[in-house]
């Protein structure tokens, strides 16, 4: 049994324009201690699969088929206390947009204290400052007093990592920091995420756009396309000898590979030239 078992998962969102199928039969298994990157173009379903692990879908979304099991337990069958336990004891999330997910009306210190108290830990100023020091925040006393809107993007990501890691989660789900972060800050944030996971032995599921960083941090990569995992294997072999045509086009579109003279053509263009328009991801509109 794997720690995470996602099988044939279908997730749909209700929208005014009809039902959007965000996951269309996605399958992924992850063992304890593994670091897996999930890559794929915008809208392929990365954030959806990440949130589905904790049954934390937005209110207009729901499971429409398949299963998600954590430690063998089907998260779709858990009642509220069961879900709360799963999220509190097993999962840590580093969201794509940390400022939006932090409580805007509460200072950083207050939010950290809530998490730490919930775990029965030490919520003294010194202990909270220590948590921020662990994520390389140079002036923790000052940051504890700030409201989320007073944080830079990189600082907010560090706070989000501190909050996630305070729980010592067995599974850390990290959504790619928004493009708003500059390259250096993103590198530092990633380093923090993987070093923190290394220390606690957490399994990492990292949802990413950045294949070069994936090659650096993860031995395994899964490629998503239109709500399915279309390729999954050791990073070295997926990047060097991709089997699925979508992965091939994803790699061809990478800037670093561009420099090596690989032809650039998007997968959609490639499909269009082969077999007309690809079918649309929306159903029941
Ligand atoms: N709350 C929502 N309501 C309606 N549709 C949604 C919602 N969340 C996601 N979707 C749709 O589901 C699909 C998958 O979205 P998702 O956010 O998982 O993609 P992603 O791979 O994380 O993209 P990105 O790289 O831009 O973060 C997209 O078509 C998206 O528009
Ligand atoms: Mg996303």
Q: Write down the pLDDT at residue 129.
A: 96
User: How many other CB atoms are found less than 10 A from the CB of residue 31?
Assistant: 12
- Residue 146 pLDDT exceeds 80: yes
Which two tokens mark 68? 């998600």
Q: Which residue has the higher pLDDT, 264 or 93?
A: 93
Q: Which atom of ligand 1 is nearest to the CA of 282?
A: 29
| Mean pLDDT, rounded, for 31-57 | 94
Q: Which residue has the higher pLDDT, 35 or 167?
A: 35
Q: What is the pLDDT of residues 214-252, one digit of tens each?
A: 998 999 999 999 999 999 999 999 998 999 999 988 888
Binned at pLDDT 50, 70 and 90, residue 167 comes out as confident
Binned at pLDDT 50, 70 and 90, residue 262 comes out as very low
CB-CB contact of 170 with 3 (8 Å): yes
Binned at pLDDT 50, 70 and 90, residue 188 comes out as confident
The 3 state secondary structure assigned to 138-186 is CCHHHHHCCCHHHCCHHHHHHHHHHHHHHCCCCEEEEECCCCCCCHHHH
CA 59 to chain centre: 19
Binned at pLDDT 50, 70 and 90, residue 263 comes out as very low
**Rounded Cα–Cα distance for residues 262 and 276 (Å):** 24
Q: For ligand 1, say whether the CB of 43 is within 6 Å of any of its atoms.
A: yes
Q: What is the pLDDT of residues 90-116, one digit of tens each?
A: 999 998 888 888 999 999 999 999 999
CA distances in angstroms from 247 to 198, 227, 230, 251, 254, listed in the order given: 28, 14, 8, 6, 11
Q: Ligand 1 mean position to 58 CA, how many Å? A: 10
Q: Ligand 1 mean position to 211 CA, how many Å? A: 20
Ligand 2 is an ion; its neighbours by CB within 5 Å are 46-47
Q: For the purposes of burial, counting CB atoms within 10 Å of the CB of 155, is it exposed (0-12), middle (13-18) or buried (19 or more)?
A: buried
Q: Which atom of ligand 1 is nearest to the CA of 20?
A: 5
* 15 sits in which H/E element: strand 4-15
Q: Which residues contact 3 (CB under 8 A, 6 or more apart)?
A: 30, 31, 32, 70, 71, 170, 171, 203
Q: Ligand 2 mean position to 39 CA, how many Å? A: 10
Atom 12, ligand 1: residue with shortest CA distance: 22
**Which has the closest alpha carbon to 207: 59, 40, 76, 3?**
40
Q: Write down the pLDDT at residue 1.
A: 84
| Mean pLDDT, rounded, for 17-25 | 97
Q: Write down the pLDDT at residue 273.
A: 55
CB-CB contact of 221 with 230 (8 Å): no
Q: Write down the pLDDT at residue 186.
A: 83
Q: Write down the pLDDT at residue 187.
A: 86
CB-CB contact of 254 with 238 (8 Å): no
Q: Which ligand is nearest to the CA of 15?
A: 1
DSSP E strands: which ranges in 31-166? 35-39, 61-70, 73-74, 91-94
Q: Ligand 1 mean position to 180 CA, how many Å? A: 18
- Residue 76 pLDDT exceeds 90: yes
């Amino acid at each position: 049994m794997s720690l995470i078992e996602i099988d044939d998962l279908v997730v749909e969102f209700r929208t005014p324009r009809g039902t959007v199928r965000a996951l269309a039969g996605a399958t992924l298994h992850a063992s304890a201690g593994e670091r897996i990157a999930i890559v794929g173009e915008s809208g392929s379903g990365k954030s959806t699969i990440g949130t589905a692990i904790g049954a934390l879908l937005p209110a207009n979304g729901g499971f429409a088929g398949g299963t998600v099991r954590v430690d063998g337990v089907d998260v779709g069958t858990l009642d509220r206390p069961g879900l709360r336990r799963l999220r509190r004891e097993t999962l840590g999330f580093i969201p794509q947009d940390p400022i939006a997910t932090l409580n805007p009306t509460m200072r950083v210190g207050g939010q950290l204290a809530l998490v730490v108290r919930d775990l029965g830990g030490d919520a003294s100023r010194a202990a909270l400052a220590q948590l921020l020091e662990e994520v390389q925040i140079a002036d923790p006393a000052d940051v504890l007093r700030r409201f989320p809107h007073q944080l830079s993007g990189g600082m907010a990501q560090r706070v989000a990592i501190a909050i996630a890691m305070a729980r010592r989660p067995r599974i850390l789900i990290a959504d790619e920091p928004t493009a708003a972060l500059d390259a250096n800050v993103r590198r530092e944030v990633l380093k923090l995420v993987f070093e923190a996971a290394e220390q606690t032995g957490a399994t990492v599921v990292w949802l990413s756009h950045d294949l070069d960083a994936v090659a650096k941090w993860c031995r395994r990569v899964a490629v998503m396309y239109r709500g399915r995992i279309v390729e999954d294997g050791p990073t070295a072999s997926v990047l060097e000898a991709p089997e699925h045509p979508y992965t091939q086009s994803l790699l061809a579109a990478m800037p670093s590979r561009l420099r090596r003279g690989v032809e650039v053509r998007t997968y959609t263009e490639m499909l269009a030239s082969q077999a007309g328009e690809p079918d649309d991801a929306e159903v029941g509109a």
